[in-house]
């Protein structure tokens, strides 16, 4: 019996399986052998076997070169039955190297079978070449052939499944990586946008960490505090920026003043809020300051315009009467006043013969006279005294914390100062004037603004009736 006859000997092949799935796509088996009889007998033998409901189909190659062509165009071959000796003594072994190295096909199962084991001893072939099984044609019975093929197909299926899963996993990893990169790029873009936005903000913005260091700040902050290292000197009346703020505290705001880089004071509206770590612990404070210096200046200017007589620079009628009412009601009538609701005096002043000055020297001279009178009166007033223009050439002088005697003394000093005042006009002309004064005490418990003004006017009328340039008291 020849080796080829032995190869097809049936040893307990068993009954043919039910061919319920015969219409399924068969398993392609590449048979590489230069003996046509081997191809024919292998095809006949495998026609009686199925695996997983699929038959086996022979793909024939009669040389290693022909096998290379087939393998270059097909990737669905799960197993190859490869002869060693064909056009050359080692054609089959060279084909193994071509499959594994040149084609990079690690999935296909290679069963090396030879009728001349001396040409490729089993041990040497297994060690030197990446093959999956080694069979001598003399020992490869029909059942062993089927067993080898089924084992090879299973191995190929497992490798393909693993490869598919790997590719799916790699694809998902690549997609996830791309998504993370996109999110990271978007986060970086958003971070750069926020950083540039904060940097361009005209208001100082900063982050002070829990250790008290100014870790982050924008350009406006650096310009306002060029020497800020670990501390900013806020005004003493406000909360210090280094004061800790517990986590969970709401934002706080306060107004403060600081010395700018040019040494000028700056009025600021500061808003601060604690910054918490992911664990909820206090991590520092973020703050923003709005420069309200110009706004405060405008508010002061508006207040000045609303309370000041534009010609004389003294208080206007409404404001001086408001100060009088505050003195009567016990409110803070005058800055630096030592008492509220105490005694005081109101002096009414009228410039004598003011109409004559306007008629003889012009209304410009009258305006100069009013301004010089206010300047002269203020030069003799205390810090707590106030003067306001009631109308025309008439003025009210409020003397808080003054008794009747004190008021008379002050009024006489004012009268003497006016009588000695020489007023020079821009054209070189000079003139003098006098004033009549009417004084009354302010009684907070029983007086009203109208009653005080009435008594002071009576005293003033009496001073004018008695010859002017004098002080009368009522």
Tokens for 408? 């008379």
Compute CA distances 102 → 71, 92, 113, 120, 133, whole Å: 11, 15, 22, 21, 21
DSSP state, residue 151:
H
- Catalytic residue chosen out of the listed positions 12, 301, 325, 393: 393
Tokens for 147? 């067993």
Quote the CA–CA distance of 84 and 68 in Å, as a whole number. Answer: 14
Tokens for 189? 């873009």
DSSP state, residue 270:
E
The DSSP result for 155-173, as a single string, is HHHHHHHHHHHHHHHHHHH
Quote the CA–CA distance of 138 and 5 in Å, as a whole number. Answer: 8
Residue 425 CB partners (closer than 8 Å, separation 6+): 361, 364, 365, 368, 431
For the four alpha carbons of 443, 444, 449 and 450, in that order, the dihedral sign comes to negative
Quote the CA–CA distance of 435 and 47 in Å, as a whole number. Answer: 140
Quote the CA–CA distance of 54 and 32 in Å, as a whole number. Answer: 22
Residue 374: which of 354, 359, 394, 355 has the closest Cα?
A: 394
Specify whether the CB–CB gap between 328 and 346 falls below 8 A: no
Compute CA distances 421 → 318, 353, 365, 379, 453, whole Å: 28, 15, 14, 12, 27
Helices (H), 19-141: 36-46, 64-73, 91-97, 122-128
H/E stretch holding 351: strand 344-351
For the four alpha carbons of 222, 226, 229 and 232, in that order, the dihedral sign comes to negative
- 175 counts as catalytic: no
Quote the CA–CA distance of 74 and 85 in Å, as a whole number. Answer: 24
Instruction: Return the number of other C-beta atoms located less than 10 Å from residue 111's C-beta.
Output: 20
Question: Which three-class secondary structure state does DSSP give residue 216?
Answer: strand
Quote the CA–CA distance of 19 and 13 in Å, as a whole number. Answer: 16
Q: Which residues are annotated as catalytic?
A: 393
């Amino acid at each position: 019996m020849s080796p080829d006859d032995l190869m097809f000997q049936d040893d307990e092949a068993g009954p043919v399986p039910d061919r319920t799935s015969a219409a399924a796509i068969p398993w392609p088996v590449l048979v590489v052998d230069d003996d046509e009889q081997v191809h024919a007998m292998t095809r006949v033998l495998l026609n009686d076997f199925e695996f997983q409901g699929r038959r086996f189909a022979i793909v024939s190659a009669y040389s290693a070169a022909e096998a290379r062509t087939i393998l270059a165009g097909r990737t669905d071959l799960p197993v190859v039955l490869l002869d060693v000796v064909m056009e050359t003594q080692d054609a089959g072994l060279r084909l193994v190297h071509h499959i594994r190295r040149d084609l990079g096909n690690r999935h296909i199962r290679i069963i090396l079978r030879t009728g001349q084991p001396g040409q490729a001893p089993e041990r040497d072939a297994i060690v030197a070449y990446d093959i999956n099984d080694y069979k001598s044609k003399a020992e490869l019975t029909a059942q062993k052939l089927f067993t080898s093929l089924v084992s090879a197909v299973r191995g190929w299926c497992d490798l393909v499944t693993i490869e598919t899963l790997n590719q799916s996993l790699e694809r998902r990893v690549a997609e996830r990586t791309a998504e993370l990169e996109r999110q990271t790029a978007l986060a970086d873009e958003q971070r750069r946008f926020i950083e540039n936005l904060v940097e361009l903000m005209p208001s100082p913005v900063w982050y002070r960490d829990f250790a008290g260091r100014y870790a982050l700040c924008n350009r406006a902050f650096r310009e306002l505090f060029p020497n800020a290292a670990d501390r900013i000197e806020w005004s003493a009346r406000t909360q210090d920026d280094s004061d800790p703020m517990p986590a969970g505290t709401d934002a706080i705001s306060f107004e403060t003043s600081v010395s700018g880089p040019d040494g000028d004071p700056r009025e600021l509206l500061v808003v601060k809020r604690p910054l918490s770590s992911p664990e909820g612990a206090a991590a520092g404070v973020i703050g923003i300051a709005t420069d309200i210096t110009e706004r405060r200046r405008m508010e002061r200017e508006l207040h000045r315009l609303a309370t000041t007589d534009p010609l004389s620079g003294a208080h206007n009628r409404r404001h001086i009467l408001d100060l009088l009412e505050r003195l009567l009601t016990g409110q803070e009538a005058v800055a630096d006043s030592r008492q509220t609701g105490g005694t005081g005096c109101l002096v009414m002043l009228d410039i004598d013969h003011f109409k004559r000055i306007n008629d003889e020297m012009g209304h410009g001279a009258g305006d100069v006279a009013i301004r010089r009178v206010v300047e002269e009166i203020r030069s003799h007033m205390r810090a707590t005294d106030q003067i306001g223009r009631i109308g025309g050439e008439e003025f009210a002088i409020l003397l808080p914390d003054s008794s009747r005697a004190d008021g008379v003394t002050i009024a006489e000093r004012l009268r003497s100062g006016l009588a000695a005042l020489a007023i020079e006009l821009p054209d070189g002309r000079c003139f003098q004037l006098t004033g009549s004064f009417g004084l009354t005490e302010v009684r907070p418990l029983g007086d009203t603004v109208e009653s005080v003004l009435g008594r002071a006017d009576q005293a003033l009328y009496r001073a004018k009736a008695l010859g002017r340039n004098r002080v009368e008291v009522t």
